[in-house]
């Protein structure tokens, strides 16, 4: 025991100039520069607070940072910020460990030796930026600016997206991609509604909430926002309290808190949704008026050529009767009846899906099936239903002229488009990117910029991704840490942590009002780091030949200020303030008054910094024509959008639109269904391997969403705080499954797929479906600093290289495995 | 004299673990070596307990955050040979680290197992005192520690209200966990103050006290519709 | 063989005694400050109050020790006096280097001591703990009142202030 402890101490001490304390106090985990120690030693202990926005997950919570003599010592929620109203999640509290992390990149680094070899040399900023600007100027001079690709992994919903897009456009490349991308998440809605917006859900007025796989209290877009809504509803003790029912293969935080948890076989959520639709239709629990006036494809229909097409109703009635759905999903027929009756009789009732139900090869079709229930119930633009928030009134950036090189560049075929026919609705799939780089098609990539994130760790197909990264002559990473992806960068430009940086977070998806939150530095940068946004301004304003500069701003904060002027000018909404409830604002608004009046923009801006954000709880009512942008201007059970796109692919491919061509295309898309059913919400079977009896599913604990919190010691310790697994991975098994394999609690278990195997400790409990092995995602890093490296396992590393066939999202729930007790 | 108490509404609590993180950062609680942590030496002043109930597929889970219960009749103080753990006039069960000799009798006596022991020496340069929270000391090897209801915050609040020349009001004094709970599930206040939320909630029909039959009179009360 | 108890005990007692003496006196070697600051001149001639330099004595836990950013408000390029100590100060100011003052009064980190509480709420005078600083022409080399728990408790008992451990120890 003692020896191991010492080894750990050595590990903690490290080499990189971190203070080797050999201790188990709080301070062993932080690396504080001398200048800060000096302040801490001599300061008078003056306390102050600063508001900013947490950037550790996409949720966009307002936080208050406690500073002693200007040094951050504690973080709590901003009580007046409407998204989280003072609430926090564990992740937010550990932001200080990010700021003072000993593994931060403290100066620009240049790779020496082999890619991935872990050897770096320090550069000064001028040297680093010269290498980059020389390369990108050269590419422009050669007329190849489109060979620059920008991969944004920050997963933040703010102004950085516009900023980077503008840089890329001015430079002359159409290749700006986000990973993960909201647009991909929105594909099911796009297919049914012709509208790529993530809906918001009126939980507060709903009587019944049925959720399919979407772990909204833990994963999703903004867990704290949903926790607030949930607990508010739970706080009311009256009879009419909202009932929550959650469907998931594993008892997640959301399932555990629901009134009822329905375990389901992974990858069959769509079938269950349609089984429920069957009962709703049979028992006439549907909103017939809405279906009649605002949907198309419900009944069988005849097209303009006189051909009869199958409608949603008859497809559901023929194929999704409860007994068959039980066969597919493992959910008892009686349960399906109960769910449908509860859903149909408790108005208003809401249906939502995501996470576990969407990260499958059939994810898009499943989500379509789930969302179709909302159409059956007529859940749009009404109390307790689905609604869409307005865009924030930010000012657009000034127009600028593109030069000829840029014009030519952005006309090129975007690199994210599939060469083949895969993923017809993905603007971007990491799989497409990898394949295109390896094939050098439609053109080779010369420069790859990566802004934060860690796609290599988060996706599947690690091996090919590494080969692709090695192939690119110049990979530049903007990040604060060296992670798996950055290991293959040629240059790392250290960014500030979010506590040292300016940004605006606006309209986090699915949050029920438009809002902006201002991220401001709470402390001066503690190392020689620079804001990536400012670097892009510098690079973007290089004299490429066009005289107009895309960024007429000194720095990013001036750009933010410029854009926020639009919010001030609009006169809408208000800066967040104490005791300001949405209903009060609405009351004033109805009488034509404004609460948010400010004497000048400066006053507005200063107040914004002081309070942390702006919001507008008043929403413009939207007509159905606005939310249904489909060819029929209706909610399309039969997706014309999908039909048209697949027809296009077939046309491009084929000569005479023969059945042979259609077969070929559907085969490549991995669609097993044939005929009209393809374009209707349906259950698409997942191609599992034979001889693999156990479903491998993953989940993301709130302490370490998408694996980027693994460098924070507190989050590593708390990784399994519910199951008491600290700094390590585990596998959750149902007692029935465990006993079938002779596995007991805390045994080591091998999990083996066709791609390899991982070992984890067993946690046996009844909160998981039989024949399912649930492994948390987040650990198993091979890089990313001393606290992340070599703890736990990454379940993605043994997953099959599968993607949602339509929107290209990695299918992290579609692999089957063998398990055995490790000897 | 005040009597400080906590009410945790389990109908609202989601089990997200925010209270644990808030507590660890606020109180400078040490992070323990991974292997040692997994052998049961992990240090949380508030932890999340999960109990599965029922048979698959009709499973319910009872989950509750468990801080020190600050018993009115604490078993731990009676066994302390050096008066390092004691109950003060306001009902807070204090743990005075520099008195503690590390005998761990109190850990054995506590029926709720909320006390943790420092197995290792947290050595750190004195300059680091300010990181993170300068209001709370970092404990040394060989002493027992536990949830203090963030008593250091009470002292500050008292100072503030004395300066303003008023009494402490409900909501002035909040421990870190109660302050940042995203579900607003943790209430904190004075049981002697009839206006306070905890006074009224503690009398609710949903109120339950853990292991009441031991006569410890815990001042952490759970609210739950479930039995 | 039987041990002679006295023969063993005497050296042990001697060692303990020497060690105790060493502990007692080593902790109390005089503290010499980098500049021999004259409180008397500043108070009597410059008319300063304690709070003018120890700015946070009434508002924070720490009273704070002033440094060049405060000194330079009065001491510019031209010396005010002929004191060699002022020359040293001006050198520090010119080099923009903080004066490495040595703290005489400090409490361990498990003790919470608030100046604000003692000065404003408790209405104590600075001299109650720090002695008659206004008469000092050179910095104190020893604390006037050692900030020990014994001294704290004595005063708390006398003034009938709480002796609860949780009033100071966290």
Highest mean pLDDT among A7-11, A266-270, A651-655: A266-270
B42 touches chain A (CB under 8 A): yes
User: Cβ of C120 under 8 Å from any chain B Cβ?
Assistant: yes
Question: Mean pLDDT, to the nearest integer, of A775-780?
Answer: 94
Q: Between the CA of residue A371 and those of A204, A312, A776, what are the distances in Å?
A: 19, 13, 27
CA dihedral C49, C50, C52, C56 (to 10 degrees): -150
B63 touches chain C (CB under 8 A): no
C103 touches chain B (CB under 8 A): no
Chain C, nearest residue to B155 by Cα: C167
Q: Measured between alpha carbons, how far is A416 from A432 in angstroms, rounded to an integer?
A: 6
CB B74 within 8 A of CB B55: no
Q: How many Å apart are CA A302 and CA A89, to the nearest integer?
A: 53
Determine the distance from the C-alpha atom of residue B91 to the mean position of all C-alpha atoms in its chain, rounded to a whole number: 13
Average pLDDT over residues A177-190: 90
Beta-bridge mates of residue A535: none
| Per-residue pLDDT at A10 exceeds 60 | no
Does B27 lie at the interface with A, CB-CB under 8 angstroms? no
Asked if B155's CB is within 8 angstroms of C112's CB, the reply is: yes
Cis? peptide before A348, omega within 30° of 0: yes
**What's the confidence (pLDDT) of residue B125?**
37
User: How far off is chain C from B106, nearest CA to CA, in Å?
Assistant: 18
Which residues does chain B have within 8 Å of residue A716's beta carbon, measured at their own beta carbons?
A: 34
Q: How far apart are CA C65 and CA C85, in angstroms?
A: 17
Query: Which candidate in C57, C64, C106, C110 is best for mutational testing of the A interface (most A CBs within 10 A)?
Result: C64
Write the CB contacts of A89 (distance below 8 Å, at least 6 apart in sequence): A57, A59, A61, A223, A224, A227, A702, B16, B17, B18, B21, B182
Q: Are the CB atoms for C137 and C105 separated by under 8 Å?
A: no
Q: Does A235 touch chain C (CB under 8 A)?
A: no
Closest partner CB to B98 (pick from C110, C120, C166): C110
> What are the structure tokens assigned to A47, written together?
């306390």
Q: Do C56 and A46 touch (CB under 8 A)?
A: yes
* Per-residue pLDDT tens over the stretch B156-209: 999 999 999 999 999 899 999 999 999 999 999 999 999 999 999 999 888 999
B208 within 8 A of B222, measured Cβ to Cβ: yes
Does C102 contact chain B (CB < 8 Å)?
no
Which one, of C99, C84, C107, lies nearest residue C38 by Cα? Answer: C84
Neighbours of A87 (CB within 10 A): 28
Question: What is the rounded CA–CA span in Å between residue A527 and residue A138?
Answer: 31
A629-651: b (≥16 Cβ within 10 Å) or e = ebeeebbbbbbbbbbeebeebbe
* Helix, strand, coil share of chain B (percent; to 5): 25, 20, 55
Tokens for A539, please give them: 């690079």
Q: Supply the CATH classification number for the domain B4-223.
A: 3.30.70.20
Read off the pTM: 0.90
**A254-268, A423-437, A735-749, C149-163 — which is least confidently predicted?**
A423-437
Q: Where are the alpha helices (DSSP H) in A152-211?
A: 160-171, 182-185, 187-193
Residues 6+ apart with CB under 8 A from A168: A148, A150, A174, A175, A176
DSSP structure string for A494-511 = EPPPGGG--EEEE--TT-
Tell me the torsion sign for CA atoms A12, A13, A18, A23: positive
For residue B129, what pLDDT band results from cuts at 50, 70 and 90?
very low
- Does the beta-carbon distance from C121 to B88 stay under 8 Å? no
Quote the CA–CA distance of A816 and A819 in Å, as a whole number.
10
Collect all residues of chain A within an 8 Å Cβ-Cβ radius of residue C55. 44
pLDDT at A658: 67
When CB atoms are compared, the residue of B89, B126, B148 closest to C170 is B148
Contact in structure between A146 and A174 (CB atoms under 8 Å): yes
For residues A334 and A318, give the distance between their C-alpha atoms in angstroms, rounded to a whole number. Answer: 19
pLDDT at C101: 86
Q: Which residues of A touch B24 (CB under 8 A)?
A: 93, 714
Residue C137 to residue A10: CA distance in whole angstroms: 51
For residue A713, which of A21, A3, A1 has the smallest C-alpha distance? A21
Q: Nearest CA of chain B to the CA of A544: how many Å?
A: 47
Inform me whether the pLDDT recorded for A261 exceeds 70.
Answer: yes
Q: Which stretch of DSSP H or E encloses residue C106?
A: none
Chain A residues with CB under 8 Å of C98 CB are 38, 42
Interface probe, candidates B155, B158, B173, chain C, greatest C C-beta count within 10 A: B155
Give chain C positions within 8 Å (CB) of A42.
65, 67, 98
With tokens 């790859």, the residue in question is: A448
**To the nearest whole angstrom, how far is the Cα of A252 from the nearest Cα of chain B?**
11
Q: What is the pLDDT of residues A548-565, one digit of tens each?
A: 688 889 899 999 999 999
Q: Is C159 exposed, middle or buried (0-12, 13-18, 19+ CB in 10 A)?
A: exposed
Least Cα distance to A461 among A817, A800, A751 occurs for A800
Are the Cβ atoms of B52 and A766 closer than 8 angstroms? yes
Structure tokens at B16: 């997200």
| Average of per-residue pLDDT values in chain B | 89
- Mean of pLDDT values over B70-86: 94
Query: Residue A478 and residue A496: Cα distance in Å, rounded?
Result: 10
Indicate whether A593 pLDDT > 70: no
Q: Where are the alpha helices (DSSP H) in A237-301?
A: 253-257, 269-282, 288-294
Distance CA(B76)–CA(B87), nearest Å, equals 10
The β-bridge relationship of strands A295-296 and A635-636 is parallel
Residues of C in contact with B154 (CB under 8 A): 166
Per-window interface: A 183-242 vs B, CB < 8 A? 217-218, 223-224, 227-228, 230-232, 234-235
Domains of chain A listed by start with CATH number: 109-184+394-616 (3.40.50.740), 200-387 (3.40.228.10), 694-821 (2.40.40.20)
**Chain C residues touching B162 at Cβ < 8 A:** 117, 121
DSSP, collapsed to helix, strand or coil, labels residue A797 as helix
What is the average per-residue pLDDT within A234-240? Answer: 68
ipTM: 0.92
Q: From residue A89, how far is each of A95, A219, B173 by CA, in Å?
A: 11, 11, 21
In chain A, residues with a C-beta closer than 8 Å to the C-beta of B28 are 25-26
Residue whose C-alpha is closest to residue A406's, from A171, A220, A723, A89? A171
**Contact flag C56-A42 (C-beta cutoff 8 Å):** no
In whole angstroms, what is the distance from residue C134 CA to residue A571 CA? 59
Query: Residue C91: what pLDDT?
Result: 85
Instruction: Give the distance from CA A558 to its chain's centroid.
Output: 28
Q: Average pLDDT in the C138-165 region?
A: 89
Interface partners of C (3+ CB pairs, < 8 Å)? A, B
Kindly state whether B166 is in contact with chain C, defined as any CB-CB distance less than 8 angstroms: no
Chain C positions in Cβ-Cβ contact with residue B134 (cut-off 8 Å)? 109
Lowest mean pLDDT among A34-48, A779-793, B2-16: A34-48
Dist. CA A470–CA A463, nearest whole Å: 11
Interface mutation vs chain A, best among B17, B49, B135, B176, most A CBs within 10 Å: B17
pLDDT higher than threshold 50 for residue A703: yes
Integer Cα distance of A547 and A385 in angstroms: 51
In whole angstroms, give the CA distance from residue A573 to residue A613: 11
Cα(C98)–Cα(C116) distance, integer angstroms: 25
Q: How many CA atoms, within 13 angstroms, populate the side-chain half-sphere of residue A447?
A: 25
Q: Is the pLDDT of residue B5 over 90?
A: yes
| Residue ranges covered by each domain of chain C | 51-63+103-170
Distance set, CA A763 to CA A746, A771, A773 (Å): 6, 14, 10
Q: Please, are residues A389 and A511 in contact by the beta-carbon 8 Å criterion?
A: yes
CA-based torsion, A785, A788, A790, A796: positive or negative: negative
> Quick check: A94 and B48 CB within 8 A?
no
From its phi and psi, is residue B40 left (phi > 0), alpha (psi between -120 and 50) or beta? left
In tens, the pLDDT along A429-484 reads: 888 889 899 999 889 999 999 999 899 999 898 999 999 999 999 999 999 999 99
Under the banding of pLDDT at 50, 70 and 90, the label for residue A27 is: very low
CA angle (A447, A450, A455) in 5-degree steps: 120
Of the candidates A270, A330, A182, the residue with the CA atom closest to the CA atom of residue A680: A270
Cβ of B33 under 8 Å from any chain A Cβ? yes
The 10s digit of each residue's pLDDT in A296-334 is 999 999 988 999 999 999 999 999 999 999 999 999 999
Strand partners of residue A334 = none
Lowest mean pLDDT among A158-172, A685-699, C81-95: C81-95
Q: Which residues of A342-361 are buried (b: 16+ CB within 10 A; e: fewer)?
A: bbbebbbbbbbbbbbbbbbb
Domain coordinates of chain B in residue numbers? 4-223
A neighbour chains, 3+ CB pairs within 8 Å: B, C
**Strand residue runs (E) in C22-95:** none
- Cα-based torsion angle of the residue sequence A167, A170, A172, A176 in order, rounded to the nearest 10 degrees: 30
Length of chain C in residues, anyone?
170
Rounded to an integer, what distance in angstroms lies between the CA atom of residue A262 and that of residue A269? 11
**Sequential DSSP letters for A564-600:** HHHHHHH--SEE--TT--HHHHHHHHHTT--S---SS
């Amino acid at each position: 025991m003692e020896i191991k402890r010492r080894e750990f101490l050595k590990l903690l001490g490290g080499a990189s100039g971190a203070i080797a304390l050999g201790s188990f106090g709080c301070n062993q985990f932080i690396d504080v520069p001398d200048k800060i120690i000096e302040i801490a030693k001599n300061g008078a202990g003056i306390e102050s607070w600063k508001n900013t926005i947490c950037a550790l997950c996409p949720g966009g919570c307002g936080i208050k940072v406690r500073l002693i003599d200007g040094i951050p010592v504690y973080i709590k929620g901003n009580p007046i910020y409407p998204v989280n109203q003072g609430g926090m999640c564990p992740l937010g509290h550990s932001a200080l460990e990010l700021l003072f992390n000993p593994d931060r990149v403290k100066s620009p680094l240049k790779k020496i030796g082999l890619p991935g070899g872990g050897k770096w040399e320090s550069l000064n900023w001028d040297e680093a930026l010269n290498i980059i600007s020389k390369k990108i100027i050269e590419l422009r001079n050669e007329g190849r600016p489109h060979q620059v690709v920008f991969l944004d992994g920050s997963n933040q919903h703010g102004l950085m997206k516009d900023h980077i897009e503008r840089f890329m456009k001015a430079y002359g490349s159409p290749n700006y991609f986000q990973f993960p991308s909201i647009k991909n998440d929105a594909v099911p809605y796009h297919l049914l509604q012709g509208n790529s917006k993530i809906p918001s859900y009126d939980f507060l007025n709903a009587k019944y909430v049925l959720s399919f796989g979407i772990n909204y209290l833990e994963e999703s877009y903004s867990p704290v926002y949903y926790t607030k809504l949930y607990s508010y509803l739970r706080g009311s003790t009256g009879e009419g309290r909202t009932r929550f029912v959650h469907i998931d293969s594993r008892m997640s935080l959301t399932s555990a808190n629901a009134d009822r948890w329905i375990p389901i076989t992974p990858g069959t959520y769509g079938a269950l949704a349609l089984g429920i639709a069957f009962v709703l239709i049979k028992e006439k629990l549907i909103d017939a008026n809405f279906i009649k006036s605002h949907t198309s494809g419900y009944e069988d229909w005849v097209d303009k050529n006189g051909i009869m097409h199958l409608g949603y109703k008859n497809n559901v009635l023929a194929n999704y009767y409860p007994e068959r759905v039980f066969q597919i999903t493992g959910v008892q027929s009686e349960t399906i009846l109960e769910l449908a009756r509860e859903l149909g009789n408790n108005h208003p009732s809401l249906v939502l899906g995501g996470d576990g139900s969407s990260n499958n090869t059939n994810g898009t079709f499943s989500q379509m099936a789930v969302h179709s229930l909302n159409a059956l119930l007529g859940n749009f633009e009404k109390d307790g239903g689905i609604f869409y928030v307005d865009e924030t009134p930010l000012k657009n950036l000034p127009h600028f002229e593109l030069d000829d090189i840029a014009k030519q560049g952005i006309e090129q075929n975007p690199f994210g488009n599939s060469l083949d026919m895969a993923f017809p609705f993905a603007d971007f799939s990491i799989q497409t990117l990898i394949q295109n780089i390896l094939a050098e098609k439609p053109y080779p990539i010369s420069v790859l910029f990566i802004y934060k994130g860690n796609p290599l760790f988060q996706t599947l197909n690690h091996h090919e991704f590494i080969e692709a990264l090695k192939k690119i002559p110049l990979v530049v990473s903007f990040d604060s840490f060296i992670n798996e992806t950055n290991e293959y960068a040629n240059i790392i430009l250290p960014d500030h942590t979010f506590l040292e940086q300016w940004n605006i977070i606006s309209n986090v998806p699915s949050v029920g009002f438009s809002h902006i939150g201002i991220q401001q530095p709470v402390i001066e940068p503690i190392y020689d780091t620079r804001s990536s946004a400012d670097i892009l301004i510098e690079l973007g304003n290089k004299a490429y030949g066009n005289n107009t500069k895309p960024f007429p701003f000194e720095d990013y904060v001036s750009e933010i200020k410029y854009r926020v002027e639009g919010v001030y000018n609009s006169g809408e909404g208000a800066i967040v303030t104490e005791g300001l409830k949405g209903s009060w604002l609405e009351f004033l608004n109805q009488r034509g008054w404004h609460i948010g009046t400010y004497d000048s923009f400066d006053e507005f801006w200063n107040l914004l910094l002081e309070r942390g954000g702006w919001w507008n709880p008043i929403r413009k009512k939207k007509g159905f024509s606005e939310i249904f942008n489909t060819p029929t201007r209706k909610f399309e059970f039969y997706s014309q959008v999908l039909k048209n796109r697949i027809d296009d692919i077939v046309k491009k491919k084929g000569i005479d639109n023969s059945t042979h061509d259609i077969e070929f295309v559907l085969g490549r898309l991995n669609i097993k269904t044939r005929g009209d059913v393809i374009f209707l919400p349906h259950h698409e079977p997942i191609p599992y391997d034979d001889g693999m009896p156990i479903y491998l599913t993953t989940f993301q604990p709130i302490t370490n969403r998408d694996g980027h919190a693994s460098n924070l010691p507190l989050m590593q310790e708390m990784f399994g705080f519910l199951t008491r697994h600290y700094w390590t991975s585990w596998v959750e098994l149902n007692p029935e499954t465990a006993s079938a394999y002779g596995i007991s609690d805390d045994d080591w278990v091998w999990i083996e797929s066709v791609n390899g195997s991982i070992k984890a400790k067993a946690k046996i409990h009844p909160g998981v479906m039989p024949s399912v092995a649930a492994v948390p995602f987040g650990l198993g890093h091979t890089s990313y600093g001393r606290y992340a490296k070599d703890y736990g396992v990454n379940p993605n590393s043994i997953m099959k290289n599968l993607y949602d066939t339509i929107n290209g999202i990695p299918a992290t729930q579609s692999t089957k495995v063998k398990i055995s007790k490790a000897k | 004299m005040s009597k400080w108490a906590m009410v945790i509404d389990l109908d609202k609590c989601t089990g997200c673990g925010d209270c644990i993180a808030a507590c660890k950062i606020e109180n400078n609680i040490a992070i323990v070596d991974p292997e040692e942590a997994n052998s049961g030496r992990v240090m949380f002043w508030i932890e999340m307990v999960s109990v599965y109930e029922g048979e698959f597929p009709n499973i319910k889970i009872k989950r509750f955050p468990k801080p020190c219960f600050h018993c009115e009749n604490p078993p731990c103080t009676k066994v302390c040979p050096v008066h390092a753990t004691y109950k003060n006039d306001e009902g807070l069960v204090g743990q005075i680290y520099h008195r503690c000799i590390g005998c761990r009798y109190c850990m054995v006596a506590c029926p709720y197992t909320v006390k943790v022991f420092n197995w290792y020496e947290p050595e750190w340069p004195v300059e680091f005192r300010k990181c993170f929270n300068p209001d709370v000391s970092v404990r040394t090897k060989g002493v027992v520690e536990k949830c203090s209801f963030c008593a250091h915050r009470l002292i500050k609040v008292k100072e503030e209200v004395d300066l303003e020349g008023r009494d402490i009001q409900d909501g002035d004094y909040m421990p870190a966990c109660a302050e940042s709970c995203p579900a607003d599930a943790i209430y904190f206040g004075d049981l002697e103050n009839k206006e306070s939320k905890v006074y009224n909630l503690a009398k609710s029909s949903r109120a339950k006290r853990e292991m009441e039959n031991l006569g410890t009179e815990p001042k952490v009360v759970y609210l739950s519709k479930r039995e | 063989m039987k041990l002679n108890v006295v023969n063993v005990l005497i050296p042990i007692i001697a060692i303990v005694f020497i060690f105790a003496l060493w502990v007692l006196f080593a902790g109390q070697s005089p503290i010499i400050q980098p500049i021999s600051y004259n409180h008397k001149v500043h108070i009597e001639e410059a008319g300063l109050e304690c709070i003018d330099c120890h700015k946070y004595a009434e508002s924070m836990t720490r009273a704070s020790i002033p440094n060049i950013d405060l000194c330079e408000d009065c001491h510019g390029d031209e010396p005010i006096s002929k004191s060699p100590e002022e020359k040293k100060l001006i050198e520090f100011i010119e080099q923009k280097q903080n004066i490495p003052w040595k703290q005489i009064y400090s409490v361990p980190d498990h003790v919470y001591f608030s100046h604000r509480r003692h000065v404003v709420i408790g209405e104590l005078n600075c001299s109650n703990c720090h002695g008659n600083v206004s008469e000092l022409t050179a910095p104190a080399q020893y604390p006037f009142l050692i900030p020990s728990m014994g001294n704290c408790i004595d005063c708390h008992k006398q003034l009938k202030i709480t002796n609860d451990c949780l009033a100071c120890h966290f």
